[in-house]
């Protein structure tokens, strides 16, 4: 008799099919994380300048990116670029856009780029683009300021 009761308990426990139990041999996959688009708005500073006192700084506000040459312990700012900005729309790891220069905003700036458009790329937490002055071109790398 005790053997019969034990056997019944074992069979009942193993064969339980209660509504709250899962009887699948494959684990339920974890939901995929949805990546949000990077928020590039705000202030950015050149991180690959060879001088702490001469670099480019940018502000992204709405649909506009404004870039200045900064010198003289931040006392001197010279306009380099004002153009369109296209924010990322997906959580992709990189984003590129072609900015169209605002001619009215830059026409009287002595150190402004004369390019009609400029290609910007966002990747690995930084925005990069080519900047040139007096025949020298360099890749500028901007990252958000703290």
CB 145, CB 44: distance < 8 Å = yes
Please check whether residue 17 lies inside any domain of the structure: no
Domain of 114, CATH number, reads 2.40.128
Query: Is residue 50 in a domain?
Result: yes
- The answer to whether position 123 is within a domain reads yes
Q: pLDDT 10s digit of each residue in the chain, 146 long? A: 554 554 444 545 554 455 554 555 677 777 777 789 999 999 999 999 999 999 999 999 999 999 999 999 999 999 999 999 999 999 889 999 999 999 999 999 999 999 999 999 999 999 999 998 888 999 999 999 87
CA distance 47 to 140: 8
pTM across the whole model: 0.76
Q: How many domains, in total, are found in the chain? A: 1
Cβ-based neighbour number of residue 82 at 10 Å: 21
Strands of the sheet with 117-123, listed across from one edge: 76-84, 64-71, 54-61, 42-46, 136-144, 126-133, 117-123, 94-100
For residues 39 and 54, the answer to whether their CB atoms sit within 8 Å is: no
Task: Flag whether 29 is in a domain.
Answer: no
- Find the domain containing 70 and state its range: 42-144
124 within some domain: yes
Angle at 146 between CA 132 and CA 79, to 5 degrees: 30
Q: Is 6 part of any domain?
A: no
Query: Which pLDDT does position 7 carry in this prediction?
Result: 43
* Residue 22 within any structural domain of the chain: no
Per-residue 3-state assignment (H helix, E strand, C coil) for 24-69 = CCCCCCCCCCCCCCCCCCEEEEECCCCECCEEEEEEEECCEEEEEE
Residue 11 lies in a domain: no
pLDDT at 5: 52
């Amino acid at each position: 008799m005790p053997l019969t009761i034990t056997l019944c308990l074992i069979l009942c426990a193993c064969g339980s099919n209660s509504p709250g139990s899962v009887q699948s041999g494959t684990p339920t996959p974890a939901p995929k994380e949805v990546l949000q688009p990077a928020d590039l708005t705000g202030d950015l500073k050149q991180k690959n300048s060879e001088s702490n006192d001469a670099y480019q700084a940018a502000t992204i506000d709405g649909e506009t990116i404004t870039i200045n040459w900064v010198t003289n312990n931040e006392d001197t700012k010279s306009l380099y670029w004002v153009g369109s900005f296209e924010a990322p729309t997906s959580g992709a790891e990189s984003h590129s856009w072609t900015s169209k220069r605002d001619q009215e905003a830059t026409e009287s700036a002595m150190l402004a780029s004369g390019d009609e458009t400029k290609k910007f790329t966002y990747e690995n937490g930084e925005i990069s683009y080519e900047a040139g002055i007096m025949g020298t071109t360099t890749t500028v790398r901007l990252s958000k300021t703290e």
